[in-house]
Amino acid sequence: MNEQMIPLLTFLFGLIAEYWFIIFRNRMPKIRYSVHQSLIGTSGFDNYFGNVQVLYNNENIENLYLFNVEFTNTTNKDFSDIIVKIWCDVSSSILSSQAVKAGSIDLLLLTKEYVKQITETDLDKASENSGRRPYVIPVLNRGDKITVTCLVKNNKSQIPLVYIDCEHAGLKFIANYKQKNMLWGIDQSHAAILGLLVSAFLLIPILHYVDSRIVAVVSTFTIGVLVIVPGLLLLKFFNRIKIVVKNIM
């Protein structure tokens, strides 16, 4: 290597190192949160148990859930005056909630604006504020853990969705779960696994009984591309059988 190239390469390496250092230093801190749900009760009529009612403050609730939303500041920064909003989907309502920092006996407070809205709003417009709870976190140091507990109702026989929204500058909240990739109403990961097993059985006769390499290559390539299709069809068929059996029972 030419000795004159060494300083140039060193300079370029320094530029690249500085570039990645700036990106790492200025990247937005992310806090991951988890949501745990449990069904408390469901109102309805059953031929065996009879009429079952779930009441909250003498109000009949079709489905009542308990949610625990938790997050820990795992970043290398401390934050102050953070407003964290707990939201639910439009078909659900938050009946009550409380937020606390681990190791503290004092509950976190709702924002003054929200308290003013719910105290001055007419009962007819109360539903506008029933889907959110904005909490103020005065200090969120590194390692601090926050837990928000919510009672959530849903009157459409659906499982409520609860999530976090935070507009604090330089901070982002991310749900600590992955949504399933669905295709034709079937989980693609399950379909791929089942399709892989089916495809493996299809490859056995092709590899043993097909003499033409071209036909074998094209066949195996096609099966590899469409590996998810047999799984989708089988799972669709199994789901249809379950529905038929359930209706018969």
153: confidence class by pLDDT, cuts 50, 70, 90 = very high
Rg of the chain over CA atoms, in angstroms? 28
Task: Determine the Cα–Cα distance for residues 224 and 233; give it in Å rounded to an integer.
Answer: 16
CA distance linking residue 164 with residue 134, whole number of Å = 10
More confident residue, 127 or 35: 35
25-70 pLDDT tens trace: 545 688 999 999 888 888 877 676 678 788 888 888 888 999 999 9
- Output DSSP code: residue 242: H
Segments making up each domain of the chain, as ranges: 26-175, 182-248
Q: Are 96 and 189 in contact (CB under 8 A)?
A: no
d(CA 231, CA 205): 19
Please indicate whether residue 140 or residue 183 has the higher confidence score (pLDDT): 140
Q: What is the pLDDT of residue 11?
A: 47
pTM for this predicted structure? 0.59
Identify which has the larger pLDDT, 12 or 29.
29
Q: Which CATH architecture best describes the domain 26-175?
A: Sandwich (2.60)
* Orientation of helix 188-209 relative to helix 228-248, angle to 10°: 120
Instruction: Tell me the pLDDT tens digit for each residue of 193-224.
Output: 666 666 666 666 666 666 666 665 555 555 55
Say what the pLDDT of residue 60 is.
85
